[in-house]
Structure 1
Amino acid sequence: MSTSEPSDSVIAMLIDGEDDQEVHELQTDARTPIPKQRREISPSLSSNYGGDGDEGRRKKVLALSDTEGLFCPICMEAWESQGDHQVSCLPCGHVYGLSCIRRWIQQHGGIVAKCPQCNSKYNLKDIIKLFGSPIVVLDESLLKKVRSYEAEVASLKTERASLLAIQDDLFRVQENLFKELTNREEKLSCRGDAASGEKGMERRQSKQWDHHSAHNFLREGILHCKFQLECELAVEGARLFDMDASSQTLVLARRISGLGGTHMLKKVNLISPQQSEDIQLPPGTKPIKDLHISPCGRFTLLASLGKKLSFLSLGSNSFVITYDLPGPAWSCSWDLHKPHCIYTGLQDGLLLMFDMRFSKIPLLSLAGLTSRPIHTIHSLVQNRAFSHTSHKLLTASSSGPCVWNMGSAGPAGERPFLIPGLEDQGVCTSVAYSPSTDNIVASYHPKTDTSARPSGSQVLIKRVDDCFYHKIGSVPVQLNDFQLRKSAIVDIPDCYPLFAYGEELTRGLWLRELPSLKVSQNLEPHQHSILDVKYARSQDKGLLGCLSEDKLQLFSAATKGVFIL
């Protein structure tokens, strides 16, 4: 058996008991040759739909959060007062762009179709063009200002990440210098004070105090963050969740045992957490393996073992789009830079990219390094300091975190690479990523259990540029069982970043400061193991949430300028 791949027995332990029949394909021989890269781009897409330079239609994109009621619900772009994308409506009253609703008919039978929002039947002759005044027309000068501000914000984020990286390097250099100085002085002290052990001890204690004093002096001005419990909710059969602090919405996936193992969603209003709504899943969806609320807070993306990638509107609690996939889906993600692009990772290691404006078939279909399930996907922030056009994805399977090139700086979909230095860490069970600092924390389980309490590890990696990733440090962790559990990185301005995860032995939510990886807080334990951890922040508030199968906890942050002694 290859030493770089986990054993079949370990892979089998990744599977929840309820999902055995759905994911039995996981138990494949680790010696199976790595599949060749597959890249499938639909030839019809380039002919039926224009790109950014299409002369037949000028596409103007606004941020979704700024276009409430001003954009087409199908393509999520602003409609126009005339032309191919003229604002139009159906007899039911729902409004769309003309070209989008015509294309909807062609994709759903060609003659009679249903309204995407209320399922009322209609055909081409029922489409009504609207000529009302005023029609919202995009302000080119305002759009240019928005794009300028976006570029400035991205530049400032890059600058902040670079400064944090420099700070981390300075801390490491400082630590090494102090260690070297202390070692040399201890040797001299032992030689000169061999007969007076008491004086030598006092001198060493004095040097140690000076070390911490200087260390804390350099850290002055950076705050330490503590979390306190704000809300606790009882839930039944919870599996995973996501939340949006701006829209004050939380969505969680559940499995109700009393209904024969029915899978469903629950939407919670964070302003009044007792107010919740149950949402039925489409037939054949099966267990949800991953879900993410969109950056604008209006939609939720869901990946399921029923070979479905679903697009839920949080306004109407209805499923707008459902993609049929070639295999069970284990993960999904929104694109940080293109709100119309989404990704999903399949059980056989395949990565699919969809463009919601165009078609119900994937725009890209790419093979990973192994045939193991892709259990995590993160869209990496574009690092403008090193590349203006590259777009990277971070994914994780049991083999570890991989980086994909999805941009125009190189061949889109070129073969991914495993982050160097992490080849023999064990079985990767979780990867957390922070877009604001480019910190990555990967959690590992040993490939084989040789003791009653196996020891895993958590590894901190700093993304330096598009191709270079620096391993900063790692810490051992005691494990209780073998499951995929999600973790998160907490970034609060002017505070040390934190890594939040469910500690398996105590079943509590633990926080580690970065880059030291020292435990800074151990929050209230649960009766069952913590399955999912998320952090969400708006302009005025940050929330840290953790979920076990019977309880959801939400914590708020408080900062204070104390020093670690």
Structure 2
Amino acid sequence: LSHLPPAISHKINSHDIFLPADQTKEDICRLILRSDNFPPDFGFSFSHVIQIDISTVIFRMVGSPGLIRGVMFLFLSLSVHSHHLFQSVPVAPASQDASRAEECEGDTCSICFEPWTTAGEHRLAALRCGHLFGHMCINRWLRGQGQAAKCPQCNKKAKRSDIVLLYAPKLRALDNSEFESMKKSLEQEQSLRRKAELDSAQSRLQLQVMTNKCGQLQQQLQELMAQTGRSAAPSSSSASLAFSQLSDVSQRPDGGRTGQYSFSKAVLVSQSGGCRVLSYCEPLSCLLASQPSPHATLVPGCGVKKLSVVNVKACQYIPIHGKQIRGLAFNRQNDSLLLSASLDNTVKLTSLLTNTVVQTYNTGRPVWSCCWCLDNSNYVYAGLYNGSVLVYDTRDTSTHVQELQPLRSRCPVASLCYVPRAANSSFPCGGLIAGSLEGGCFWEQVDGTNYRPHVLPLETAGCTDIQVETESRHCLVTYRPGRSHPSLRCVLMALSRSPQQDSGQQPSCSCSPVQTFSAGSSSKLLTKNAVFRSPAGTGTLVCAGDEASNSTMVWDAGSGSLLQKLPADLPVLDISPFQVNGDHFLASLTEKMLKLYKWE
């Protein structure tokens, strides 16, 4: 083929033979195919294809496919003029031809089947359609076809001006079929992975729902077991009776019972635990218990769980803070505004009517406690980690209006209680009691913005909580066990104010112990206790959590006697008495559960 012009050679295939024009078809057939050796019924013929010149003609063999494959011959040299020198050469199988063609396809001209060159007449060139040829070959090809010139590969119209020289030293098509296959497989795997992740998220959500449902069923089971235990109490053993209902109940002078707390209901607040403080909202008749977010992956942080005391069911979780909540408080305005303090350096006001945060104050330090000013609901207090107390005016949304610096150490303010003014009592002044681990201080509110500090005569170590009973003007101070006192102590103290001795001396405020109540020997947590008026109408009750026995202990403040020991599954962290529709209740909060007791 290398001896043929480019315009002719591209049309030649393995079935073509070359012979002088004066040779007959019969001579060619007899010579090359040796027809004497074939059966008589074998048929074949040649079709004239191209007249190269006056001396050479190309004939194409037409016949049985099997015969053609068996007697393939390559071609005859143009210089041969005698049929005796015709040669018959078998052509390689089609698979080998295809393999060779594929090998040469990337670096040979499709017109002359010669390799491209980087310079000279046969340098690499391309048409507008993108097919590659030798420059000399494609130029001759287009010139020979004239106005009807087409691309030898795709038969698209082409002209000589479409020829573009390519400056590539070597051009070879990269076989990326395996890469594309792997890429497609990767995309499929990524799609399957995303689908699996979505299914996993849905499964986790369903698991959370089922976990909550399981907790509710466990709660109902505990309630049924408690009701069964109460109904079977008369026939139960003496040990069980002593644990569920204490016989040491306060008596009237005539011998009749004044009443006691009986178990009403238990509510699961947090399946994973983490509850800390408790407060009661009187306008909405609901309890608020702090807890971590039940859906930490979707809504991280901490908030409060609303529990309606009408039907005693957990209503809704309200996200508020980013870290643990250490204090909850309501004012006396019945506006359902919840004041909360958190370790995320913020104090927030949350409307329980809309369940949204309406005001945020950045304290700059972790907040351990908070309370309202009961004489002026426009002011709130925040006890900080460094011992300071910040005073905020809710009408000023920017920053605090005053900072009360600690007089002694800079221990965290673990408790804050406000004592309202009472003109007719022995302790008429109003102010703030700030309790820390090393004692307490009463900040007397002289006027709207001025405070006078009074250091209370408390023990200098182990003070974990201070609570106030505003009517009787008493405060309950809780001490951890120590070397001199191996058990938890709750000391009831009466607030007092010394009269003014002369015009140059200010009256001083102090407190004195009235009654001491002892509990167990363990106190690892900063729990909150309660002191309040007895539901019986006379006297005062003191309630404290006992870690050693996992129970709530109820004492009579007047006699100091232990009235009841209400069992719990875990250590009691906070206690809150409240009243609904004339009935008195006591709520105790553990890390997971809330238990309600009704006064009967």
Give 1:247's aligned residue.
284
2:310 corresponds, among 271, 275, 298, to: 271
Give 1:117's aligned residue.
none
Q: Deviation of residue 493 (structure 1)?
A: 5.9
CA contact (8 A) 1:287 1:305 kept: yes
CA distance in 1, matches of 2:331, 2:306: 14
Give 1:235's aligned residue.
269
* 1:287-436 equivalences in 2 (<5 Å): 287-295=324-332, 296=334, 298-369=336-407, 370-385=409-424, 390-408=429-447, 412-414=450-452, 416-420=453-457, 422-424=458-460, 426-436=461-471
CA distance in 2, matches of 1:258, 1:505: 32
CA distance in 2, matches of 1:354, 1:222: 49
Q: Deviation of residue 317 (structure 1)?
A: 0.2
Structure 2 vs 1, CA of residues 388 and 531 (structure 1 numbering), >3 Å: closer, same or farther?
A: closer
Q: Deviation of residue 396 (structure 1)?
A: 0.7
Give 2:490's aligned residue.
458
Identity of aligned residues (%): 22
2:597 corresponds, among 535, 555, 560, to: 555
- Paired residue secondary structure (1:310): strand
Aligned-partner residue type, residue 502 of structure 1: G
Q: Deviation of residue 275 (structure 1)?
A: 4.6
Give 1:190's aligned residue.
none
Q: Deviation of residue 390 (structure 1)?
A: 4.2
Give 1:528's aligned residue.
570
Aligned-partner residue type, residue 331 of structure 2: S
- Paired residue secondary structure (1:544): strand
CA contact (8 A) 1:310 1:323 kept: yes
CA distance in 1, matches of 2:326, 2:555: 26
- Paired residue secondary structure (2:413): coil
- 1:125-146 deviation per Cα after TM superposition (whole angstroms, max 9, x unaligned): xxxxxxxxxxxxxxxxxxxxxx
- Paired residue secondary structure (1:239): coil
CA distance in 2, matches of 1:227, 1:323: 40
CA distance in 1, matches of 2:476, 2:256: 21
Aligned-partner residue type, residue 497 of structure 1: T
- 1:498-552 deviation per Cα after TM superposition (whole angstroms, max 9, x unaligned): 10111111111110101222111111x2221111111123572322100101210
Structure 2 vs 1, CA of residues 400 and 292 (structure 1 numbering), >3 Å: closer, same or farther?
A: same
Give 1:487's aligned residue.
529
Unaligned runs of 5+ in 1: 1-214, 559-565
Larger relative contact order, structure 1 or 2 (CA cutoff 8 Å, min sep 6): 1
CA contact (8 A) 2:530 2:542 kept: yes
CA contact (8 A) 1:389 1:408 kept: no
- 1:201-246 deviation per Cα after TM superposition (whole angstroms, max 9, x unaligned): xxxxxxxxxxxxxx999x5699734111222101212222211344
TM-score (structure 1 length as normaliser):
0.55
- 1:388-447 deviation per Cα after TM superposition (whole angstroms, max 9, x unaligned): 9943111210012321112229x8223x33322x235x4111222111211211110145
Aligned-partner residue type, residue 392 of structure 1: G
CA contact (8 A) 2:427 2:495 kept: no
User: Does 2:504 match 1:470?
Assistant: no
CA contact (8 A) 2:326 2:369 kept: yes
Give 1:515's aligned residue.
558
Aligned-partner residue type, residue 437 of structure 1: S
Q: Deviation of residue 259 (structure 1)?
A: 3.1
CA contact (8 A) 1:245 1:541 kept: no
CA distance in 1, matches of 2:356, 2:543: 32
Give 2:477's aligned residue.
442
* 1:103-142 equivalences in 2 (<5 Å): none
CA contact (8 A) 1:336 1:381 kept: yes
Structure 2 vs 1, CA of residues 392 and 382 (structure 1 numbering), >3 Å: closer, same or farther?
A: same
CA distance in 2, matches of 1:360, 1:220: 60
- Paired residue secondary structure (2:260): strand
CA distance in 2, matches of 1:475, 1:493: 21
CA distance in 2, matches of 1:366, 1:346: 10
Aligned-partner residue type, residue 551 of structure 2: G
The count of aligned residue pairs is: 333
CA distance in 2, matches of 1:493, 1:407: 36
CA distance in 2, matches of 1:509, 1:350: 32
Give 1:9's aligned residue.
none
Structure 2 vs 1, CA of residues 364 and 221 (structure 1 numbering), >3 Å: closer, same or farther?
A: farther
User: Does 2:260 match 1:226?
Assistant: yes
Structure 1 segments of 4 or more deviating over 4 A? 219-223, 386-390
2:539 corresponds, among 496, 503, 525, to: 496
Give 2:186's aligned residue.
none
Q: Deviation of residue 323 (structure 1)?
A: 0.2
Q: Deviation of residue 359 (structure 1)?
A: 3.7
Q: Deviation of residue 371 (structure 1)?
A: 0.3
- Paired residue secondary structure (1:546): strand
Aligned-partner residue type, residue 470 of structure 2: P
Q: Deviation of residue 329 (structure 1)?
A: 0.4
CA contact (8 A) 2:488 2:520 kept: yes
- Paired residue secondary structure (1:312): strand
CA distance in 2, matches of 1:442, 1:457: 8
- 1:142-189 deviation per Cα after TM superposition (whole angstroms, max 9, x unaligned): xxxxxxxxxxxxxxxxxxxxxxxxxxxxxxxxxxxxxxxxxxxxxxxx
- Paired residue secondary structure (1:403): strand
- Paired residue secondary structure (1:478): coil
Alignment root-mean-square deviation, CA:
2.8
CA contact (8 A) 1:403 1:418 kept: yes
TM-score (structure 2 length as normaliser):
0.52
CA distance in 2, matches of 1:262, 1:273: 25
